[in-house]
Amino acid sequence: MEEIYAKFVSQKISKTRWQPLPPGSLQTAETFATGSWDNEENYVSLWSIGDFGNLDSDGGFEGDHQLLCDIRHHGDIMDLQFFDQERIVTASSTGCVTVFLHHPNNQTLSVNQQWTTAHYHTGPGSPSYSSAPCTGIVCNNPEIVTVGEDGRINLFRADHKEAVRTIDNADSSTLHAVTFLRTPEILTVNSIGQLKIWDFRQQGNEPSQILSLTGDRVPLHCVDRHPNQQHVVATGGQDGMLSIWDVRQGTMPVSLLKAHEAEMWEVHFHPSNPDHLFTCLKMDPFVSFHQVKLFNELLTFLSHSISNQAHVHQSVISSWLSTDPAKDRIEITSLLPSRTLSVNSLDVLGPCLVCGTDAEAIYVTRHLFS
């Protein structure tokens, strides 16, 4: 893998996210945000890989990422998402959810809104108040959904002081991650290996569907939804197993891939190229994270046949849902040199990839598919 820029930044990075580009823009990604963890003072930082006037001999951009601005953050940054072009939402280990606003003209970050007691074990009213870390966030302008170690799900709306909806005790174990399926539906994964689907249109505090792996209750750490097909999700577990689920059918995963030897911290479908799936984990001797690519001749056939017919009753089958991964070619490539500590987070946008590690380094590449 050529052209990976590494930079040591003196803080362990827990999350990295690309700033979303304006819709219809032809630029490539330029700015990303990072959150740190395990420091006495943690920071949310914005970095830029844009042109600083340095062009190398090929005329390409040269040099590694530069810090634009940062702001102090209370507690570890457990999750970080861009709410829109200018606002960043973070989940803290103190149970607080914060919205930061980026001011591009003077390159500063400021706190725009904060929900300090979003997650707690015993409530703010009682004398033995104890907060709980908020573990996951997902945004869909104007809504923000958060989950935490207290098993609680909150639905916030930007600029509303109180939570719009709270599901207390949604889960008896820790909720690790959350993603939107369709707009009123979310999907959470927890530490006893279950996926739960919640419908905000319904009044009760019960999930509308529960899916789980049989066998050992292996905690699931991360989840991501296919960008085009809203019923396909991928989850990563504590044992390094990558599972693909179809939430419309059955309660079992469609395919399982033993991708790593240890916890998978993040899984991402590539937003514009969903045949590619990215995962990252703690180091094992030979690979740090994978690019899993699935070719499926069946999909090609289907897409041809669909275009030739006027009416199609059969729904388009996602390439990921074919049941035999051994038959269809899956290519797994390691993208980082080994010997680093745990890769905690990664994000992809177009041909650009950024990831952050516990070795206090950030890696950026702009040529993912070359």
Partner 1 sequence: VETVLIPGVNSRKHQMCFDWGPGEMLVCETSFNKKEKSEMVPSCPFIYIIRKDVDVYSQVLRKLFNESHGIFVGLQRIEEELTGKSRKSQLVRVSKNYRSVIRACMEEMHQVAIAAKDPASGRQFSSQVSILSAMELIWNLCEILFIEVAPAGPLLLHLLDWVRLHVCEVDSLSADVLGSENPSKHESFWNLVTILVLQGRLDEARQMLSKEADTSPASVGMCRIMGELMRTMPILSPGNTQTLTELELKWQHWHEECERYLQDCTFASNPHLESLCKIMLGDEAALLEQKELLSNWYHFLVTRLLYSNPTVKPIDLQYYAQSSLDLFLGGESSPEPLDNILMAAFEFDIHQVIKECSIALSNWWFVAHLTDLLDHCKLLQSHNLYFGSNMREFLLLEYASGLFAHPSLWQLGVDYFDYCPELGRVSLELHIERIPLNTEQKALKVLRICEQRQMTEQVRSICKILAMKAVRNNRLGSALSWSIRAKDAAFATLVSDRFLRDYCERGCFSDLDLIDNLGPAMMLSDRLTFLGKYREFHRVYGEKRFADAASLLLSLMTSQIAPRSFWMTLLTDALPLLEQKQVIFSAEQTYELMQCLEDLTSGRPVHGGPDTQQCQDDDIETTKVEMLRLALARNLARAIIREGSLEGS
Residues of the shown chain interacting with partner 1 in the complex, contacts defined by CB under 8 A: 8-12, 14, 37-40, 76, 78, 93, 121-122, 130, 132-133, 135, 149-151, 171-174, 190-192, 194, 196, 207, 210, 212, 214-217, 219, 238, 262-263, 282, 339-342, 358-361
Q: Toward partner 1, which CB reaches closer, 40 or 56? A: 40
Distance in Å, CB of 254 to partner 1, minimum:
19
C-alpha atoms less than 13 angstroms from C-alpha of 129 in its C-beta half-sphere: 12
Distance in Å, CB of 86 to partner 1, minimum:
28
Element (H, E) at 99: strand 97-103
Tell me, what amino acid is at 191?
A: S
Q: Where are the alpha helices (DSSP H) in the chain?
A: 297-308
Distance in Å, CB of 219 to partner 1, minimum:
7
Strand partners, 155: 145, 165
Residues in contact with 97: Cβ distance below 8 Å, sequence separation at least 6, in sequence order = 89, 90, 91, 114, 115, 118, 134, 137, 144, 146, 154, 156
Q: Toward partner 1, which CB reaches closer, 75 or 143? A: 75
Q: Toward partner 1, which CB reaches closer, 29 or 280? A: 280
Q: Using an 8 Å Cβ cutoff, are 220 and 193 in contact?
A: yes
Q: Toward partner 1, which CB reaches closer, 87 or 196? A: 196
Distance in Å, CB of 161 to partner 1, minimum:
26
Q: Toward partner 1, which CB reaches closer, 76 or 143? A: 76
Q: Toward partner 1, which CB reaches closer, 49 or 91? A: 91
Q: Using an 8 Å Cβ cutoff, are 363 and 357 in contact?
A: yes
Q: Toward partner 1, which CB reaches closer, 173 or 230? A: 173
Distance in Å, CB of 38 to partner 1, minimum:
4
Distance in Å, CB of 147 to partner 1, minimum:
12
CA angle at 266 for the pair 343 and 344, rounded to the nearest 5°: 25
Residue 233: name the closest of 268, 279, 264 by CA.
268
Q: How far apart are CA 183 and CA 49, in angstroms?
A: 33
Distance in Å, CB of 179 to partner 1, minimum:
18
Give DSSP secondary structure letters for 239-295.
Answer: TSEEEEEETTS-SS-SEEEE--SS-EEEEEE-SS-TTEEEEEES--SS-SEEEEEE-
